[in-house]
Amino acid sequence: MHKYCIGIALILLGLSGCGGSDRAEQVDVYAAASLAEVLPGISSEARYSFAGSDELAAQIREGAPADVYAAASSRYPQQLFEEKLVEEPVTFASNRLVIIVPRSNPAAIESPDDLIRSGTRLVLAAEGVPVGDYSRDALGTLGLSAALENVVSNEDDVKGVSGKVALGEADAGIVYTTDAVPLGDDVLVLELPDPAQPTIEYQAAIVAESDNRDAAAAFVRRLLSGEGRNALERAGFVAP
């Protein structure tokens, strides 16, 4: 009986060791909120943390256990690269901005010019969040910076903007095309003209302190592969 118990214990220890190895190979991806619908379809095995790119960069600086950082802007990956916190970033996608309004369109928003109308409740992502900075750049290019006086909420990420508009808590918001698509009939989408579209670069990088560098590199390769590119384009992203 004693030998039998020892044998079972050794088997259990062996299984425990195998389980720990599997967990070590699971890649932790810190990714922009706008990637929440598409990345799990590209790699279902990864663990994801979705938030604003600026917030995720701050977490990585504080030592968060990320293996891959995927941002909706080149700004933060490049900063982290200069700080030697990530390996050299690669651009894997682009995007476009659109205006969304609730389906009922209570403020009768029909063009970007209507965003400066007095009383319009505009919601944007906060400054520092890539889509928030892109939105402000677009409004400035259109000569509509006065619309910033109508901002009633600055959200932590693009999902906060799209959610408030879909629920009718704002008259309009500016989001990525890829975040308007999942809202379906809950919103109306107004295009921004090409001259107002900022240069949007989604960049990914392997975190320098990653314990799973092989798995992280495999994730980035899949992101850049034909399969990854097709998945991104089906979700509405633009090839870089």
Per-residue pLDDT, 16: 39
Domains and CATH numbers, the chain: 26-94+200-234 (3.40.190.10), 97-196 (3.40.190.10)
Per-residue pLDDT, 9: 40
Phi and psi based region of residue 189 (left: phi greater than 0; alpha: psi -120 to 50; beta: remaining): beta
Per-residue pLDDT, 157: 95
Per-residue pLDDT, 23: 40
Per-residue pLDDT, 223: 97
Phi and psi at 221, nearest 5°, equal -60, -40
Per-residue pLDDT, 239: 87
User: What are the DSSP calls for 189-206, one per residue?
Assistant: EEEPPGGG-----EEEEE
Rounded mean pLDDT for each run of 10 residues along the chain, 240 residues in total: 41 39 72 97 96 97 97 98 98 98 97 97 97 98 98 97 97 97 95 96 97 96 96 93
Contact 201, 194 (CB under 8 A): no
Q: Where are the alpha helices (DSSP H) in 62-175?
A: 75-82, 130-141, 158-166
- Predicted TM-score (pTM) of this structure: 0.85
Per-residue pLDDT, 14: 41
Cα 215 from Cα 154, distance rounded (Å): 36
Per-residue pLDDT, 133: 97
Per-residue pLDDT, 10: 37
